[in-house]
Structure 1
Amino acid sequence: MGFFKLKKYNTNVKTEFTAGLTTFLTMMYIVPVNGFILADAGLPMDAVITATALITILATIFSGLWSNTPIAMSVGMGLNAYFSYGLVLGMKIPWQTGLGIVFLSGILFVILSFTNFRVWIMTSIPLNLRRAISAGIGTFIAFIGLKQMGMIVASPATLVTLGDFTKDTVLLGTFGLILTFVLFAYNLKGAFILSILITSIVGWIFGIGAAPTSLFSSPASISPIFFHLDIMSAISLSLLPVIITFLVTDMFDTLGTLTGVGSRANLFQENNKDDKSLQKTLEADAIATVGGSLLGVSTTTAFVESASGVEAGGRTGLTAVFTALLFITTLFMLPLFKSIPPNAIYPILVVVGVLMFSELGKINFEKVDFATSAAAFFIVLLMPLTYSITNGISAGFIVYTIIKLVKKETKDINIGIILLTFISLLVFILRG
């Protein structure tokens, strides 16, 4: 396996396979979960499940071969929820236009991945605001998960209130949520997929959904969503902030994931000029997003679950290739995936939200200035309250810039912040 330079990275085929299997088990949940989330936006679930499996296979193989890193890729959690519940259901944008937005953000990411823009934009935004954005997305998708499970419901008096915990579906969701927390707390490999499986079995036993009559079938056709994106409708000044949101959020997500995983595998070392792996992984991520929009799914990104494979010893792209090959099996699991009760799926959103929200703990609010505190507060609060990642990010940048200008702390305002604040103002100006 000279292509993957196994000796250089002190690994072997057996170790890379074990790592690939570990990554596969920890992120296999994305196929049914993404199917449920995008189906809520009106996309056919059967086609979405097949498309999710396909883009995971293609993007992960491409990433492994192109960058020679153990990074697996699939449809990103958070942005898929924003796509369905923020854009399609919230802003009443047709899912075809939504895919056009994903395509355009991906094209921009491809172009920028071959330039220094990604470094410029990341260094322009204060680290603490980046952490707040991650935490805000966490609250947003956790809120969606709780709502979809019926654990919180609309209330004319208080906007939201607790749901009816006497309903069997709500009780199943509660069981699934507790189970997921317990499994994850014990650091079990494949905690998410185990939780979905056990909760589904409990649901089937109590008549909440029907158990599958068969486990395997031929893959469903993706023709109902393949190349059904509407790019022309997405080219609109009013949708520019949304395109930028997808672009910037994907960059945050990818760079955050690669930084965390890279530190464990001694990858992406910025002080090594010969190390092009970060650049190549970003390029693979961007190209995968464009490809995913053509297949009919939302933004594709590097998966943090790749860390499990790294912990198992994965160090090269061979790990990613093995992961991708194992994902081929999910193409034939449609009967099993379709029989999963929805409330066995939505607890995963809540737990992923908790994990993302933990980024807020890295902000030392006793030492940061008031502008950062206020911006972080609005970012985290407004994402779930307005059902929009865009609104939260925009409000945060506007508040940050206004306070900095009032306090005459212009040294903290750079061209990147000014550009993002201007785009943020467009979000509210162009709401009509």
Structure 2
Amino acid sequence: MTLTSACVSQDELSTIESASTDEIKNNHPISNELGVATTFSTAGAVDLTNEFFQELGTNDRHCGSCHKAEEGWTVSAAGLQKTFDRTGGLDPVFRTNDGSNSPNADVSTVEARRAAYSMLLTRGAIRVGMPIPGNAEFELIAVDDPYGFASASELSLFRRPLPSANLTLIPVVMWDGRVTGTAVGPSLNVNQDLSNQSNGATQGHAAAPDEISPSIRTSIVDFETGLFNAQVVAHDAGRLDSEGGRGGPVPLATQAFVAARFNLYDAWATSDNDARRAVFRGQELFNTRTRATGGTCRGCHSAENVGTNKNGTFFNVNVSAGSRRQADQPLYTIRANALLQSGAANPAAGTVITTTDPGRALVTGKWSDMNRFKVPAMRALGSRAPYFHDGSANSLEEVVTFYEESLGFVFTDAEEADLVAFMAAL
């Protein structure tokens, strides 16, 4: 039986897991919007008995509540909508501590819950509450929160859960790097950051009253860092590991974390298959197309064949700019203070901006970090729409359009299609 005929839908995966409650076989095919993705675990299979899947808190959640194999080891808006419809919004992922638009939201009826969890259902975004730091080089001067909760003591920030796979190829943990700290550059110990994150998530998202033990943290981190997830079949190009292509998750397990170009589909440059040549062309556009002011896609997505940033740099690409604010997002008006943390005069003193999420600046307190976020990995994109930290792009086509409008990249219609074909093959 071929992989495409043997693959299962997201709806069918729960049946498979209930029938085989202890593991998901390596390279078990799971269909998604763009083809088929698989997961490879260095442990030999995905161990569903790991503490990652155990309820360690008080609200029935576990790590797997928001990090699902069938949704690219995160959650997708489409998957959450199906879960809501199946459970009437009572699945543990729907909890008011961070799943609802406000912790004070009415969740007494199905329709009330549908409204309360709308950011999860439409953007796949959870609510992260963070204050303005005490040492901030800026101040919050106005809040426009459609849900009536946010303030300087707790901004409501709606962010997508990042995938819990391919973690040996990331330089910092979390969109704002807060478990890594305020230092510039890549983490000195990503595993320690993941350990801290596993505890913070258990106490926060899962509402555990106490810290989890070091042995449980280690078990979760060992599980996560053994997972590799990627697309293995694209609808048009077919098997991504055929004809010299190196798609799929298995090569990621031995992929060096280095700064280099994407080279997965070099062998397809002269393929007789039109769709495969399109993937190669998209790869080369990603690697080499330079915008007028300088810079390529690979300039930020610099880690070879995974697309994180090798140096752990946080970038502002205008995703959270106030001009992009939609009616369902809180908007914050922020003014730069007169002094920097060093005591020197702030060159931006008095500057006023609007933003839907200050990003890294809420960790460091620095004006220069305003609206900066980590560069995420780019594998298994077909499993985990919508895209960007706020879930504001519903498709890969919208991602390309955003970068054309925001950063000034110029692509023809054919080049846009090639770029999408490449990203769909990751």
Higher strand share: 2
Q: Do they fold alike, i.e. is TM over 0.5?
A: no
User: What is the TM-score when the length of structure 1 is the normalising length?
Assistant: 0.26
TM-score by length of 2: 0.26
Task: Report which of the two has the higher share of helix.
Answer: 1
Q: Which has the higher contact order (CA 8 A, sep 6+)?
A: 1
